[in-house]
Structure formats: structure tokens, C-alpha cells
A and B are shown apart, each in its own frame.
Chain A
Amino acid sequence: MISASNYTPLRFRDIGDELLITNEVGDFGLFPLDTVERFFAGTLPEKSVDELKTLGVLIDNADSWQLMSLARRLKKQNAVAKKVHYLILIPTLRCNLTCSYCQVSRAPLAASGFDWNDKRLDEFSAYLDTIEPDHLKVEFQGGEPTLRPDLISKIMEICLTKAKSADFVICTNILDLSPEVLKLFDREDTVISTSLDGPLQAMSSNRTKDDNLSIRTQKNLEYLLKSYGPGKVSALPTITEDNFSNFRELIDTYIELGFQSIFLRPVNYQGFARKKHAKMHEEVARWNNYYTSAIEYIKERNRSGYFEEFYLASLARKIFGHEESGFVDLRSPVSFLSDYAVIDFNGKIYPSDEARMLSRIKHVDLAVGDLTDGVDSAKILSLNSAGVNQVHEDCLHCVYMPFCGIDIVDDISRYGRIDLPKADTWFCNRHMFMFDFLFQKVQSKQRDWLDLFLRWARRSTEPSNAYALFS
């Protein structure tokens, strides 16, 4: 007997010749293709009914522990931080490079009025008083923040005074390593994040436009890695269509430098990138092909050591390892400004770095306040109410809903609206592809892939006999 009280929404999708079904929190099972039809026809064999009960899709009665378990895990997964603990700061918008995809509408090196001034520093200090932070993680973005080591220093001091503890990330192109900058890098509470688009030629064409400058950044990266080790320095590529054929060189570059992780990140369709790489949004399929080739190559390279593609590994950790990714572009509810905020050179506050870039090009104003007047709660609420895939009509019945996020900023940047059917968006297509990729390997029991997912889930080269996580 079917009644509304004893089953949760059915989420299913054909994977190979089986039907993938997930429950509210992302437990999954593979069933015969006709399972849903037979369920509603009342002809489902008892074995399948029992399996659906074990999965927590069918619930025996409202008093059962399965319901408690679902409720507990749902609460844990959707727990919203009560305090902002991650800040991205843009102490200056000026930059000494003009990268082809620059996403932040940079300001010229000699321009004035693009740096934090003393008033801004005081306002920032007062803003931290309103947050009363416990631990604070602060990421310095730009522009090129190392143009102003003095400002970075002052901001660090304010953070350490106002928060119980703090640590810092300096995102830099490492073009110029002045003694003042190196002094900042020496700090134990500070790590370095830089851009690395591959070998020399990719660096020159994407970023420096000058081989001499590329060589300089390469030398600087080698110097930093040698001085501090790979635990202190991370690198991030930006991948444009022009680089699609060079994935081997890109990955080899990372491995040779001793990195264990690469985030294959498509160029963001924002800022200057929007004008120069406009074709991208129609090219999900091309991206997905590129991504598949790159991932297959990464699998090969794992024969001789640990190396992960950060995004796919994060998904594997989330789906199989039940680890919360904390990755802000892939979560739901998005809960903007609950734990994370971006503060621009001019004191404006944004819910994400992408929202800042989008606003910079005057595409839409996604600022949700500024340091002078505080945050605009009504605007945050209206953004947040569109950022819940659990109740979004397009996502509610998606088999991957429990693992996925919702990215209204990306939708606005590509389509100028948030109400396009999700199935027609870049975000949805890219993620459907990744989830399908993972579950096809599970369904076809491809041992080499499953072993790789387990390694990534455990962050170890040790083999794990944990295949029960796939069933």
C-alpha cells in the first residue's frame, strides 16, 4: 500500500543497464531498470522492497530509526555556520600582469584609488568587531596583493587582534619576490597560492605575454617550493580552450614540481574572460571531453604515486567518504554570508568572488553591503532563497541532488537570469557529466577506477579494500 507518509521522493536515473536510486542524504543503490514502474504497479518483488527500505527510500513507519538517521544526517549536512570564518580580501585591484582571462577587471599598475586606505582599515577592524570571529581564515586576492606588503601586514595584525586565531593565504602571481614579500611568506600562519597554467608557452600566452617574465615566475616557483616545500605552496591552473590539447604537459608540470593535486578548472565566464572566451558556455561537451582525457591521463600517472584531480576527488570524498567538501560553489543551501564573505578594494561586500567579478563588469550588482554601512540582509535573503536545490523544482527529483550544489551567480553570469531550466545551464551539464562519470564506473565495477576513488577518498596511495562503499 503506497501512502504519502511511507516513502521519500524517488530520485532515479539510468546508469548502464541499471537504475541508480538515491535517498535524501545521498546513500545510493543500483536496481533493475523497471523498479520504479513496478513499484507504482505494486508488483515489486519483496527483495527490492527490502532493499529500498534499507536505503531509506521506503520507510516502514514514522517511528522507525531510519527516519531518525535521515533527519540526523540531513541536519548535519545542511548545518549552517553561525559566524563568518572565511574572508577573501582585495587590498588592491592593481596588477602587474594582464592575463588574457583576467576575471577581476584589474586596474593598471600606476592607477590610484584602487588600494585600501587607512579609513578602510579602520572600517575593516570595526566590521570584525561585529562578527566576533573565533578562528579566521583570510585569503588575500587581487589585483596582485603583494604590490602592497605593508597593507597585508596591517590587515594580518588586525585579524590577529580581533579573532581568537587566524591563518592566511596569499594569492599571488609571484612575479616579484621583494624582501618584504618574502618576510610575509616566512610566517608560519601563511601559505602561498599561485597560478600555474602549464609549461612556459602556456604561461606566456595566457598570462605574461613575455617568455622572460614566464621564466621569472617559473624560477620563483621553484625557489619557493625549494625553500618552503609543497605543503606551503599551492598552484591553480586556469584552462582555456587554447590549452585543451596540452593536458599532458600541464599535468606533468604539476607532478614534476611535486604537487599532489591539480584543480582542472574551466576559465570562469566572467570579467574580461566573458568577452574573450564567449564561446565557452556552448562548449560543455568540449570541456567534458577534455576533462575525460585529462582524468584518464591522471589515472595513468597514479601508477607511480599519489596525484588527484581536486574536484573529482572532492566529489568522491563526498559521495563515498561522506566528507563535506565545504567548497563554496558546490553547496546547497548556499547560505551566502553565513560563513564566507568577500571584501573588495572599495569596501564593498560580496557573497562570493564570482559575484564580485560579475558586479565589477556592471553585469549586475551583487554587492550585499559595504564596510561603511554594513550588510543588506534583505538582499542576502532574496539571493539565499534562490539557492536551495532541495526545494528547486528542477533539482528536487534529480538523482544527484544530495551531492550537488546550486550556483545562481554562475547562472546570472552566463544567462543573465536565474530562472533558466537548470538542465539548460553550464553548471548543471558539467556536474551531471561528472556524477555520471563516477557512477558509471561504480555500475560497471571498473576496478582500476574504483581503486583510484578509494585512494583519493583516503588521501593515500595505500590500497583500500572498501568496495562495500560502492554498493
Chain B
Amino acid sequence: MIPLKLKADFESKSAPYVVKLLPTESSGADGDGVASVRELSPGILTCTSSNGVFTYYLQGDNEWHGDVVLCIPEAGRVERLFRANSKNNTLLFTERCDQLCVMCSQPPREIDSAWRLPLYEQALGLVEPNSIIGISGGEPTLYKSELLEMLNRLGDQRSDLVFHILTNAQHFSESDRPLLKEVHAKLKVIWGVPLYSASKVEHDLIVGKEGAFDPLIKNLFLLASTNANIELRTVLTGLNALDLPSLSSFVSRHLSFISTWAIMATEPIGFAKANHHRVFFDHSIMPQPICSAIDICEIRGVSVKLFNFPLCTIPGPYRQFCAQSISDWKTKYLKICDSCSQRTSCCGFFEWYNDKWKWQNVEPLGEVG
């Protein structure tokens, strides 16, 4: 695992601030929002900016050049918001959520962290060109106007950025249409929206919110009408696995305007772990619903991907749909993967995959013939 929150000693306990870390000798090290960094001894950095000076303790051999970090002097902590050498930078926009999904990997907390939002925007102004920025939660659109207005402003200054925003799409309304259109005209935003079943009863049950289904579908149409790029996401659990073919039929019938449908293996942490008996599904011994869902998409011309499914757990002809979807900082490979020839093209396993969450058919693969 790559640590994202690190210890630091601050000379003064000022309010939180954001800086980009650049070596002292590099050009731009004296720019706005930049901390000029000297490596005192291996793993210990002194960072100087107009906000003050702090000493930063790396763990392991963390790369830091160009990272954009959030400094919280009061807590003696630095959060690595954007790692310059990673493709998996995600902002946790808020920990609050209005749904309570049975397999949530990041259970919501009722914490008011609205103070972070302006800092996030500053940080986004500092990231490397053409970065892909994830925004997740909680439910980011609980701060919908802050989010959309932030995107609109960034669209003027940083149209090189690509955003991937996870949202339950419960909170959009007709009145958001103009702003959404404006944002989509300026910026590439991929909206990752979860849909778990074609049956509203089942979907509502899984997300723990009665009446969630109809506004969700309606808002998918609303998003589509503003030229949104939509990645529909379905986490596969014991509750909805057998309904996957009928969901595929539903998606290809009503929602063919989406860019991609991602069928995802559960991340075994948070509520998923607590609700193991309802959530766990071993697709490695029962891949049929996945195969059927893909067949339907192939016939109907819907782009479909498999996220978080190690290649060996999916039948051969369907492995082409697997994506390397697990964020680098929480990916692991098992011992048995050492002799697998496909390891470099496989998504691997979540860090929290273990004997209590174990698929039967996991095996090293030979060369692709």
C-alpha cells in the first residue's frame, strides 16, 4: 500500500494550506503555492513556502517531486492530494452520504469538511497538466453547487484536466441543466453513476434508500441531455448477481447513451466486509451472469468493462473486457500470481482481499495462445 497521509512537523500552527512540492534547485520553486524542498537526509524533507516551513517524513521510498499536498499544521499531518507519478488521484469530496449501500467500501461519516473544498480547488490549480482527477465521497453532490461552480471556474483555467466524479445522481434537477451544459462544453467530466438492478425494489434495497431508483434514472437522462460522459457502474454482489442479464437488457434498452457500463467486483472492506453473508459472490465458480450480460451488450452495441476482476477468475473469451481498475495505492498480487504470465495486464486484488473473502478459482495463467 502507498501511504497517503504522512507525519510532518510545522514551525507554526497556521490554518491548513495547499502547496506543490518542488526541489529547491528547480525552476518555479519560488512560485505561488509552491514549497521549495530540500532533502535533509533520506526520507526527511524541509519544505519552505510563503505559508511557513515544515519538516516532512516520508515512509518507504515515496516519490514526492511535483506532488500537491494538503498541509494541516494543527494535526501535524500532510495529505498527499495529487501524486505526480500516479494516475489514481482521487479527492474525497465529503464523507457524508444520503445512501447507505450494503457493500459500501467507504462508509459515510457525518463530518462537516466543507472547509476543504476551497483548498481542493487551489490544489487543482497546481496539478500537472492533463491530469485525471477522481472526485468521490461520500456523495460529492451533497455540495452540488460548490462542485459545479468549482468545475465551471476550473473549466476556464484548467481545461486540460479530466475529471472522473462518482455520484449517486440523486440530487440533480432541471435547474442544473444550464450549468452542467456549460461545464461539459469546457471540461471533460466522466460521471461514474451506480445502478445495481433493473428492479427498483432491488436497487433501493441495495442502496438503502427508498425511492432512489426513479430519480436516478431520470437524472441519467438529464445528464445525458447536457452532453455528459456517463460511466454506469454496477457492483456485483450476492444480492444482484443473478439479475445482471436483465439489468444488461435494461441498460441496452433505455440507457444506450452511456459511454461505458462498468461491472465491478466488490471491494471487500467497509460495509462489504460487515455484510459478507449478503454481499459475497464467487463469480469465479459462477461467471454465467457476467458472460450473459456481456453477450447482451455485444449484441446491442453497448460498451462494457469488467472492473476489479482478476483475469484468471473470468472465462477466457471474456478477459478482453477486464480493465486494470484498482487504484495503485491499494492493489496487491497474491503469492500464486508470481508464476502468472498475465500479471502485468491484470488488475490484481484489493489490498484487503484475504482468506475470509476468497474466490475458488484463482490460478496462474499461461501465455496467451
A contact residues vs B (CB 8 Å cutoff):
27, 64-65, 68-69, 72, 320-323, 454, 457-458, 462, 464-469
Question: Once the chains bind, are A466 and B295 in contact (CB under 8 Å)?
Answer: yes
Give A465 to B317 CA distance when docked, in angstroms. Answer: 13
How many residue pairs at the A-B interface have CB separations less than 8 Å? 57
Residues on the B chain within 8 Å of A69, using CB: 221, 253-254
Known A65-B217, A68-B221, A72-B221; judge A468-B298 contact (CB<8 A).
no
Looking at B70-78, B229-237, B242-250, B306-314, the stretch in contact with chain A turns out to be B242-250
Give A462 to B316 CA distance when docked, in angstroms. Answer: 13
Distance from B343 Cβ to chain A, minimum over Cβ atoms (Å): 27
Question: Once the chains bind, are A322 and B253 in contact (CB under 8 Å)?
Answer: yes
A-B interface, 6 closest residue pairs, ranked by CB to CB distance from nearest: A468-B245, A464-B295, A466-B295, A465-B292, A65-B218, A468-B249
Question: Once the chains bind, are B299 and A469 in contact (CB under 8 Å)?
Answer: yes
Known A322-B256, A469-B249; judge A458-B221 contact (CB<8 A).
no
Question: Once the chains bind, are A458 and B291 in contact (CB under 8 Å)?
Answer: no
> What would be 29 A-B contacts, judged by CB atoms less than 8 Å apart?
A64-B214, A64-B218, A65-B218, A68-B218, A69-B221, A69-B253, A69-B254, A72-B257, A321-B299, A321-B301, A322-B301, A323-B301, A457-B299, A458-B298, A462-B317, A464-B299, A465-B245, A465-B288, A465-B291, A465-B295, A466-B295, A466-B296, A467-B245, A468-B246, A468-B248, A468-B292, A468-B296, A469-B296, A469-B300
**Which residue on chain B has the smallest CB distance to residue A71?**
B221
Distance from B34 Cβ to chain A, minimum over Cβ atoms (Å): 48
Is B252 part of the contact surface with A, judged by Cβ < 8 Å?
yes
B contact residues vs A (CB 8 Å cutoff):
214, 217-218, 221, 245-246, 248-249, 252-254, 256-257, 288, 291-292, 295-296, 298-301, 317
Question: Once the chains bind, are A458 and B301 in contact (CB under 8 Å)?
Answer: no
Residues on the A chain within 8 Å of B299, using CB: 320-321, 454, 457-458, 464, 466, 469
Known A68-B218, A68-B221, A72-B221; judge A464-B253 contact (CB<8 A).
no
Residues on the A chain within 8 Å of B288, using CB: 465
Give A466 to B297 CA distance when docked, in angstroms. Answer: 9
Question: Once the chains bind, are A65 and B253 in contact (CB under 8 Å)?
Answer: no
List 15 extra interface pairs beyond A64-B218, A69-B254, CB under 8 A: A64-B214, A65-B217, A65-B254, A69-B253, A320-B299, A322-B252, A322-B301, A458-B295, A458-B298, A462-B317, A465-B295, A466-B245, A467-B292, A468-B245, A468-B292
Question: Once the chains bind, are A464 and B298 in contact (CB under 8 Å)?
Answer: yes
Give A217 to B145 CA distance when docked, in angstroms. Answer: 72
Give A440 to B260 CA distance when docked, in angstroms. Answer: 34
Give A68 to B218 CA distance when docked, in angstroms. Answer: 8
**Residue of A68, A321, A466, A467 contacting most chain B CB atoms (<10 Å):** A466
Give A454 to B300 CA distance when docked, in angstroms. Answer: 11
Give A72 to B317 CA distance when docked, in angstroms. Answer: 33
Residues on the B chain within 8 Å of A469, using CB: 249, 296, 299-300
Taking chain B's interface residues, is the majority helix, strand, or loop, or is none over half, making it mixed? Answer: helix
Distance from B289 Cβ to chain A, minimum over Cβ atoms (Å): 9
Give A147 to B255 CA distance when docked, in angstroms. Answer: 51
Residues on the B chain within 8 Å of A64, using CB: 214, 218
Give A165 to B33 CA distance when docked, in angstroms. Answer: 51
Give A468 to B298 CA distance when docked, in angstroms. Answer: 13
Residues on the B chain within 8 Å of A27, using CB: 253
Residues on the B chain within 8 Å of A454, using CB: 295, 299
Residues on the A chain within 8 Å of B245, using CB: 465-468
Distance from A60 Cβ to chain B, minimum over Cβ atoms (Å): 9
Residues on the A chain within 8 Å of B300, using CB: 321-322, 469
**Which residue on chain A has the smallest CB distance to residue B302?**
A322
**Which residue on chain B has the smallest CB distance to residue A69?**
B254
Give A28 to B256 CA distance when docked, in angstroms. Answer: 18
Give A321 to B221 CA distance when docked, in angstroms. Answer: 22
Give A325 to B295 CA distance when docked, in angstroms. Answer: 20
Residues on the B chain within 8 Å of A65, using CB: 214, 217-218, 221, 254
Give A27 to B256 CA distance when docked, in angstroms. Answer: 14
Distance from B283 Cβ to chain A, minimum over Cβ atoms (Å): 14
**Residue of A457, A465, A468 contacting most chain B CB atoms (<10 Å):** A468
Distance from B230 Cβ to chain A, minimum over Cβ atoms (Å): 14
Distance from A212 Cβ to chain B, minimum over Cβ atoms (Å): 47
Distance from A238 Cβ to chain B, minimum over Cβ atoms (Å): 31
Distance from B178 Cβ to chain A, minimum over Cβ atoms (Å): 19
Residues on the A chain within 8 Å of B257, using CB: 72
Give A466 to B292 CA distance when docked, in angstroms. Answer: 5
Residues on the B chain within 8 Å of A320, using CB: 299
Distance from A59 Cβ to chain B, minimum over Cβ atoms (Å): 13
Give A462 to B320 CA distance when docked, in angstroms. Answer: 15
Give A90 to B317 CA distance when docked, in angstroms. Answer: 47
**Which residue on chain A has the smallest CB distance to residue B252?**
A322
**Which residue on chain A has the smallest CB distance to residue B245?**
A468
**Which residue on chain B has the smallest CB distance to residue A458?**
B299
Distance from A79 Cβ to chain B, minimum over Cβ atoms (Å): 14
Residues on the A chain within 8 Å of B296, using CB: 466, 468-469
Residues on the A chain within 8 Å of B217, using CB: 65
Give A320 to B217 CA distance when docked, in angstroms. Answer: 23
Distance from A239 Cβ to chain B, minimum over Cβ atoms (Å): 29
Residues on the A chain within 8 Å of B246, using CB: 468
Residues on the B chain within 8 Å of A322, using CB: 252-253, 256, 300-301
**Which residue on chain A has the smallest CB distance to residue B253?**
A27
Residues on the A chain within 8 Å of B218, using CB: 64-65, 68
Give A454 to B253 CA distance when docked, in angstroms. Answer: 16
Give A322 to B257 CA distance when docked, in angstroms. Answer: 13
Residues on the A chain within 8 Å of B291, using CB: 465
Give A220 to B248 CA distance when docked, in angstroms. Answer: 47
Give A27 to B317 CA distance when docked, in angstroms. Answer: 29
Distance from A280 Cβ to chain B, minimum over Cβ atoms (Å): 35
**Which residue on chain B has the smallest CB distance to residue A470?**
B249
**Which residue on chain B has the smallest CB distance to residue A457?**
B299
Distance from A454 Cβ to chain B, minimum over Cβ atoms (Å): 7
Distance from B177 Cβ to chain A, minimum over Cβ atoms (Å): 14
